[in-house]
A and B are shown apart, each in its own frame.
Chain A
């Protein structure tokens, strides 16, 4: 289907299917995955592409997510272009290995269809899962709609496999709200992707003709240096990510930025949101602008490496910044994104007051009215001085 689609033609498609076509167009060679809602449609479709011979790859049905990511390490270490997808409990089960993937520099691409963590069990969307994996040392991006999910799934391979980068990437897309929605999106044809994304050439791989030891342990004399190396590489990957996004922008006309801005010109009040909820916030911003309120919206696309400079530039001139988190850091400052944003802005001489609102946990619906209500409450709070560390918006009892 994707092969027949001409460039720039819009087709209606479920976002999960679009992601699997992106992985097909990227000519992924090895996939290991375990079923977990709401990621399943992606790997179901990929396994049928492999079964039909439309994608020349090996698909391994493993017995857990822990083994999924471990098998991916083996595939990548052998020298194959490797992909997997997961959600929620699956990501949590992978957690131990996620740190190892990035530290051992395997350019694995993973889609996380974001979902709440248990207990109580919830299959619905929020960002609890990925916020628990914040420090795993991977490149992490968030997408807002199906088009972005498709685009970033292709670009991820090119970023990850750059020999200056060689880091794994997570493309975060909201479970159900994005993964299961049918959207009109522009596909890119195979020839264009082939030109954009050359075959994977591993820098190191397990090869008897050139034997190497991978995963040696470190004594205290060297451990810190290894971590510093990882830190520098991840921070520097910023330049390569932007280069790839620019190239894609020229190719497709869709240009991406670490911090996307929506109606931020002369905005005194800014909302900062990650993921698909930004589309809801756009409607709210439009309505508030119509009423004469100087509100703008920032969408944090690049989560790791954290885009300090872009964020500081983006908030410059604003008086109030409202960060809407989709996860709760229990017993702490509330939202993990708010915490990081506030910390990133702290060195600025002139900085906006930063308030945190936690919304949409466990799939609770958020509508434009809620966003407008949050802005009104935040304005009041800013004028009176913050009463609480954060707000769990809309909570009963």
Chain B
């Protein structure tokens, strides 16, 4: 482990489990793959949610591994209806609770309402329902587990799959470099709805994740948290590297950790000196076919996006890694 230079996130070394709630809400015995970053994220997010909450979950990995009748891994009251409608179901729960409370039919405190779904269930098929729920201003928190493809059905590409990644429906070949489009920015879409709280988070930064979830729950109105969930099965990465990959995604600027409170951006994990994206890509089999030109393209794209984000955060630029090999001359139109 490097002792200096990279992200301040090295402070994860100070992580102490006794500082976090002991109560488990996502229990042992579920069927998630070895090294699943998403299961790790669910465990910590549900701890942050606490007891008085109701969870609506979309169809997907986490639903399938955790709720095979007659078993359940969920200690919360939990409902799964379908793939694309989780935000609508959560809207209904929040509305139902509201009228019951008004009529005095609700005993105990008003439960928090949390919706959860994967990147496909959020940024593809569930985008309309989520947009509607955010626009209507329901008091709920939506958590997206982003493992960057349809892993549950066998690693098919989604709009959240990063450029160049190999999936079973974006295979690299003689005429393809893999995923040919750039990852859809769900956070910007959420921010565009003018909702009071939006954040990115990662189970590799547990304190950061924990407090963002608390903040989202305590904010009245809709809140959206986008959690990068490392998937060893789909990313073709070693199962003991999931937490490391989560950190590398932040340290390379590929998945910066920030929050947007009432439209104001703030970087929550600062990276004074960026790692090259190559460090992140080389640990994953899904990027194995990429050569220097593509990696450089990803590097440039990542840097450009990161600078745009820092401008929004009004934060100083960090030191970026040098290009290797040197950047190719740009093509002149018509040449």
Contact = CB atoms under 8 A, between A and B. Distances in A.
Interface of A: 29-30, 32, 56-58, 60-64, 66-68, 70-80, 82, 96-97, 100, 104, 206-219, 222, 226
Nearest to B69: A216
A278 to B, nearest CB: 36
A67 B74 CA distance: 25
B307 interface: no
Nearest to B106: A79
A74 B69 contact: no
Contacts of A56: 99, 102-103
Contacts of B95: 30, 32, 58, 60, 71, 74-75, 78, 80
Contact of B70 (A60, A64, A207, A216): A216
B132 interface: yes
Q: Counting chain B CB atoms within 10 Å of each CB, which of A60, A70, A82 scores highest?
A: A70
Given A30-B95, A30-B96, A77-B93, A216 B67 contact: yes
Nearest to B56: A74
A215 B79 contact: yes
B69 to A, nearest CB: 4
Interface string B85-111: 101111111111111101101011001
Interface in B47-91: 51-54, 56, 63-64, 67-72, 74-82, 84-85, 87-91
B128 interface: yes
B327 interface: no
Interface string B138-172: 00000000000000000000000000000000000
Contact of B111 (A72, A96, A208, A219): A208
Interface residues of B, number: 50
Contacts of A66: 84-85, 88, 129
B82 A213 contact: no
A71 B86 CA distance: 9
A57 B80 CA distance: 25
Given A78-B96, A206-B93, A63 B128 contact: yes
A74 B53 contact: no
B319 interface: no
Contacts of A64: 128-129, 132
Contacts of B63: 217
Nearest to A214: B79
A385 B71 CA distance: 58
Contacts of A213: 67, 72, 74, 77-79
Contacts of B90: 74
Given A56-B103, A213-B74, A219-B69, A78 B93 contact: yes
B168 to A, nearest CB: 22
Interface of B: 51-54, 56, 63-64, 67-72, 74-82, 84-85, 87-100, 102-103, 105, 107-108, 111, 128-129, 131-132, 135-136
Given A62-B88, A67-B132, A79 B96 contact: yes
Contacts of B93: 74-75, 77-78, 206
B221 to A, nearest CB: 15
A96 B88 CA distance: 14
B100 A216 contact: no
Contacts of B105: 79
A58 B99 contact: yes
Contacts of A211: 74-78
Nearest to A60: B95
A216 B85 contact: no
A71 B54 contact: no
Contacts of A207: 77, 111
Q: Counting chain A CB atoms within 10 Å of each CB, which of B77, B92, B107 scores highest?
A: B92
A289 B64 CA distance: 63
Contacts of A61: 136
A11 to B, nearest CB: 29
A217 B132 contact: no
11 contacts: A29-B100, A29-B103, A30-B92, A64-B129, A74-B56, A77-B96, A79-B100, A207-B111, A211-B75, A214-B78, A222-B69
A212 B77 CA distance: 5
Contacts of B81: 70, 73, 97, 100, 104, 215
Contacts of B107: 209
Contacts of B98: 58
A29 to B, nearest CB: 5
Q: Counting chain B CB atoms within 10 Å of each CB, which of A57, A97, A216 scores highest?
A: A216
Contacts of A216: 67-72, 80
Contact of B52 (A97, A100, A208): A208
A312 B250 CA distance: 71
A206 B106 CA distance: 11
Given A60-B92, A74-B89, A218 B99 contact: no
A67 B84 CA distance: 9
Contacts of A214: 77-80
Contact of B77 (A32, A63, A100, A208): A208
A64 B91 CA distance: 13
Contact of B88 (A57, A70, A79, A100): A70
A384 B135 CA distance: 64
B79 A67 contact: no
Contacts of B53: 208
Q: Counting chain A CB atoms within 10 Å of each CB, which of B51, B71, B81 scores highest?
A: B81
Contacts of B84: 66
Nearest to B72: A213
Contacts of A104: 81
A74 B96 contact: yes
A91 B69 CA distance: 29
Nearest to A77: B79
Given A29-B100, A208-B108, A214-B80, A74 B68 contact: no
B135 A80 contact: no
A396 B284 CA distance: 65
A210 B84 CA distance: 27
Q: Counting chain B CB atoms within 10 Å of each CB, which of A71, A206, A222 scores highest?
A: A71
B67 A215 contact: yes
Nearest to B102: A56
Contacts of B64: 217
A205 B76 CA distance: 12
Nearest to B132: A63
B136 A60 contact: yes
A71 B97 CA distance: 12
Rank and list the top 8 A-B pairs by shortest CB-CB distance, nearest first.
Answer: A74-B92, A78-B96, A63-B132, A70-B85, A215-B80, A70-B88, A67-B88, A71-B92
A226 B87 CA distance: 26
Contacts of B54: 78, 206, 208
